[in-house]
Amino acid sequence: MVHVAELPVGWLGKNHALWLGAGHATGELLLFTDADVVMAPDTLRRAAAFVRENRLDHLTAGPHVDMPGWLLQTFGVCFGVIFALFSRPWKASDPRSGAHVGVGAFNLLRAEAYRRIGTHRAIAMRPDDDMKLGKLVKKHGLRQGFVNAATHVRVEWYHSIGEALHGLRKNGFAGVDYRLSVVLLATVLLPLTLVWPFVAVWVTHGATRALNALAVAVVLAIFAGAAREQRVRWWYGVACPLAIVLFLAAVWNATLYALVHRGIEWRGTHYSLDELRANKV
Q: Are strands 153-156 and 64-66 parallel, antiparallel or unpaired?
A: parallel
Interatomic CA distance for residues 252 and 260, integer angstroms: 12
pLDDT at 1 over 80: no
* Residue at 195: amino acid letter: V
Among candidates 153, 159, 164, which has minimal Cα distance to 69? 159
What pTM, to 2 d.p., does this model score? Answer: 0.89
Among candidates 62, 50, 114, which has minimal Cα distance to 90? 62
272-281: average pLDDT: 94
Domains and CATH numbers, the chain: 13-278 (3.90.550)
Q: Facing residues of 62 across strands?
A: 148
Query: In Å, how far are 4, 110, 141, 262 from 119, measured between CA atoms?
Result: 18, 11, 15, 27
> Residues 67-79: pLDDT tens digits?
888 999 999 999 9
Query: With contact defined as beta carbons under 8 Å apart, do 205 and 125 qualify?
Result: no
Interatomic CA distance for residues 225 and 253, integer angstroms: 29
> Residues 78-110: pLDDT tens digits?
999 998 988 899 999 998 898 999 999 999 999
